[in-house]
């Protein structure tokens, strides 16, 4: 007989139903092997599927393993928030009231719980600094833009491997029609500012040359890394809003806030589907 596991599919980073980025969450998954988890993630064919297990760290509430259809990630943003929402939904009681602590390969991640909004503390980047000129030329070619249109750039890798380029405006970002094969496997974000007074300060897009989709709808890890860079260098205020997913018909909204040396990355999360996984 197959065993059943609590299951939820969570919509992350949108104030409209099914406007954000979905993540599949399987709870009580401590008896599943790595191979089994990877097979399930390949089958769900979402950008990420997470498996929640008992924590090995007494400070954490649970341990999350995060899989794309191809590999395991040390950290990812929207799966972190989706996992915390599912864990709370199925009766999880945080050790620290109002704050969930998730253990993952990247370490302990703090998640603030404020009604329908969850926010994670941005982890440190594993790689930072400017992008190499050869990569910039390749990105410009992939985006069908001139190299001079890239105003600034940075490695913002906090686990998934992100690089980002800054363009002159949000409209320039939205107009991109990338040739993904030219990126050579590099995960690249593009960000540009909206005019003053707009609902969002920036628009961001996340291109993932390998995966079930070539553009991620709404991306917590990329926004976290970009926020660390842009707030540190004065390119963005200590609190701002980012739009993402417009070209994909999504309504992603990411709230960034720097507080006491911590950058919080948050948004609305809601259970879209729930039930059991029969494995």
Hey, which residues are catalytic here?
48
8 A C-beta contact, residue 75 and residue 159 = yes
Residue 237, CB-side half-sphere exposure with 13 Å CA sphere: 10
d(CA 239, CA 257): 4
Q: Which residues contact 125 (CB under 8 A, 6 or more apart)?
A: 155, 156, 157, 158, 225, 228, 229
SS (H, E, C) 31-95: CCCHHHHHHHHHHHCCCCEEEEECCCCCCCCEEEEEECCCCEECCCHHHHHHHHHHHHHCCCCCC
φ and ψ of 195, to 5 deg: -60, 150
Handedness of CA 56, 77, 121, 225 (dihedral sign): positive
CA distance 274 to 276: 7
Q: Give φ, ψ of 38 to 5 degrees.
A: -65, -40
Return the SS3 of 128.
Answer: coil
Nearest Cα to 77, choosing from 259, 215, 229, 222? Answer: 222
| Distance of alpha carbon 227 from alpha carbon 237, whole angstroms | 9
């Amino acid at each position: 007989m197959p065993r059943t596991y609590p299951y939820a599919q969570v919509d992350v980073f949108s104030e409209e139903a099914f406007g954000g980025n979905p993540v599949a969450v399987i709870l009580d998954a401590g008896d599943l092997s790595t191979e089994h988890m990877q097979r399930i993630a390949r089958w769900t064919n979402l950008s990420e599927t997470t498996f929640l297990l008992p924590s090995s760290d007494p400070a954490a509430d649970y341990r999350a393993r995060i899989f794309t259809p191809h590999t395991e990630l040390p950290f990812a943003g929207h799966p972190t928030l989706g996992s915390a929402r599912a864990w709370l939904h199925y009766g999880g009681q945080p050790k620290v009231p109002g704050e969930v602590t998730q253990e993952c390969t990247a370490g302990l991640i703090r998640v603030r719980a404020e009604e329908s909004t969850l926010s994670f503390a941005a982890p440190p980047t594993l790689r930072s600094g400017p992008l190499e000129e050869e990569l910039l030329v390749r990105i410009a070619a992939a985006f069908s833009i001139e190299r001079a249109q890239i105003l600034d750039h940075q490695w913002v890798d906090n686990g998934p491997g992100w690089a980002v380029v800054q363009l002159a405006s949000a409209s320039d970002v939205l107009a991109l029609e990338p040739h993904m094969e030219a990126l050579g496997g590099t995960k690249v974000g593009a960000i540009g500012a909206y005019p003053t007074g707009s609902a969002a300060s920036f628009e961001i897009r996340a291109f993932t040359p390998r995966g079930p989709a070539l553009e991620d709808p709404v991306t917590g890890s990329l926004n976290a890394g970009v926020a660390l860079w842009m707030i540190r260098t004065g390119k963005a205020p200590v609190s701002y809003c980012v739009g993402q997913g417009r070209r994909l018909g999504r309504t992603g909204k990411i709230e960034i806030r720097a507080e006491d040396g911590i950058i919080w990355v948050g948004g609305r999360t809601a259970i879209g589907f729930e039930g059991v996984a029969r494995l």
